[in-house]
Structure 1
Amino acid sequence: MATIMPQGELTRRAVKWIDEQRGLTGKPFAALIDQAAMQFNLSPRDTEFLTSFFTEREEPRP
């Protein structure tokens, strides 16, 4: 039987998974975000959040 989780929990798990996969595989964030969206059944809004989260994280700060 599947466990129902709050949507925010799935997004947190996706962030953790993407971060781990980036370290292991070195794949670009865009590919990992697409994969995580399918794996964690994320909405387009959640996918946009992940994109902006990882984009801001990678930008150098002045």
Structure 2
Amino acid sequence: MATIMPQGELLRRAVTWIDEQRQLTGKPVGALIDAAAMQFNLSPKDATFLSGFFKEREEPRP
């Protein structure tokens, strides 16, 4: 039986997982986003959000 999760919980778990995997493996963010989308059953819209989220975090701020 599937567990009901609050809206956005899978996305939060995916962000945490991606951060952990980046530190452990050093893999590129794009590859980790693809893996997270499969692992956490994210929609294409969620994967696009993750791409923008991590891109924004990596850009240097003036």
1:16-27 equivalences in 2 (<5 Å): 16-27=16-27
Q: Once the two structures are superposed, what CA deviation does each residue of 1:6-57 show, in whole Å capped at 9, x if it has no partner?
A: 3400000000000000000000000000000000000011101100000000
- Structure 1 runs (4+) greater than 6 angstroms displaced: none
The unaligned stretches of length 5 or more in structure 1 are none
Letter in 2 for 1:49: F
Cα RMSD after superposing both structures: 0.9
Distance in 1 (alpha carbons) for counterparts of 2:5 and 2:42: 12
Provide the identity percentage.
Answer: 81
Size of the aligned set, in residue pairs, is 62
TM-score normalised to structure 2 length: 0.94
TM-score normalised to structure 1 length: 0.94
Aligned match of 2:52: 52
